[in-house]
Chain A
Amino acid sequence: MIRAVAVGAGVAGLVLCLAVIGGGAVGTDQQAAASVTEIAPDYDRWAAPAWAPPAPWGERLLFALQAGIGGGVLTHYLDRLRTDRGTAGDP
């Protein structure tokens, strides 16, 4: 479990670094939204996010949290599969 937490923290840190390095890059989602505005300038955006993380660190940290949870779970269950190697699964 300690290993899973450590790997999860490492993955979160890596994702955070990648987000900082690529911080200036415009997301293709935003580019697509800009294209919508060009194609349909009269379109009235009828809904907006109820909550948005504070820029720029809130979004980066929450993406890192998502990756960290995934990395931890991935490591935990890979370890379990390694431990159970060669034995039949429990019912």
Chain B
Amino acid sequence: MHIMEGFLPPVWAVVWTVVAAPAVVYGARRTLSLVRVDTRTKALVAVAAAFVFVLSALKLPSVAGSSTHPTGTGVLVVLFGPAVTAFVSGIVLLYQALLLAHGGVTTLGANVTAMGIVGPFVGWTVYRVARSVGSVQQATFLAAAVTDWTTYLVTSLQLGLAFPAGGDPAGVAVAALEFAAVFSVTQLPIGLLEGMLAAALVGYLLRLETGAADRLGVAA
């Protein structure tokens, strides 16, 4: 989902930076307040953030001959919500932009908006709804998969807005669908894999009695 450096016109680079910056700043404040609550909460934040670092570093090949990355944000989303996810995603994406030439500084706002804000917000909403009808692991699986897929759909929409296939809204939709088609073959199975890994980690945290149950809305 990394939009590469310079691949958004300046006006869109500014728009997405303005959208992302407040969420990242609020997320940073929220993260700092969380790690001061107690050592268990601090450890849970660290575990969920480290999960993002590990999964987003994986470059997974697919049967279609292309490769892509999981986002790894599912565990953060269900445990701490979109704001903390925005902050952690900002750190990961900045690392990858500066050291790996994946993404870019000019596209950082767009990439954070996709991976750290909109994707996680939709995933978090899905978790809330799914939790009312399913188990924590089932809801986490669904939330993590939807978070991943939504992230890539948002990237497709961002590219469609910047490079429409025509002058009307239909041109934006056509271009966005074209970009989504590029991502979908690889990302659909990776979203499922991401859901399984996130559900497994959350299940393990529950078995450890880490205090994750409180954050996940699980009755004691």
The answer to whether A and B come from one shared complex is yes
Q: Which residues of A approach B to under 8 Å, CB–CB?
A: 11, 15, 18-19, 21-22, 25-33, 35-36, 39-40, 43, 45-53, 59, 62-64, 66-67, 69-74, 76-78, 80-82, 84-86, 89-91
Bound CA–CA A15/B104 (angstroms): 22
Task: Given A84-B39, A84-B40, verify A67-B57 contact (CB < 8 Å).
Answer: yes
- Contact bitstring B71-98, A, C-beta under 8 A = 1, else 0: 0000000000000000000001001111
Contact of B54 among A74, A78, A85 (CB under 8 A): A74
| Chief secondary structure at chain A's binding surface | helix
Residues of chain A with a CB closer than 8 A to B179's CB: 32, 35
Residue of B7, B54, B92, B187 contacting most chain A CB atoms (<10 Å): B54
What are some 24 contacts across the A-B interface (CB < 8 A)?
A15-B58, A22-B61, A22-B67, A27-B66, A27-B68, A28-B68, A40-B163, A43-B163, A45-B6, A48-B5, A48-B6, A49-B5, A50-B105, A51-B98, A59-B100, A64-B57, A70-B53, A73-B47, A73-B49, A73-B53, A74-B46, A74-B51, A81-B210, A91-B38
A67 touches B62 (CB 8 A): no
A27 touches B99 (CB 8 A): no
Bound CA–CA A29/B155 (angstroms): 10
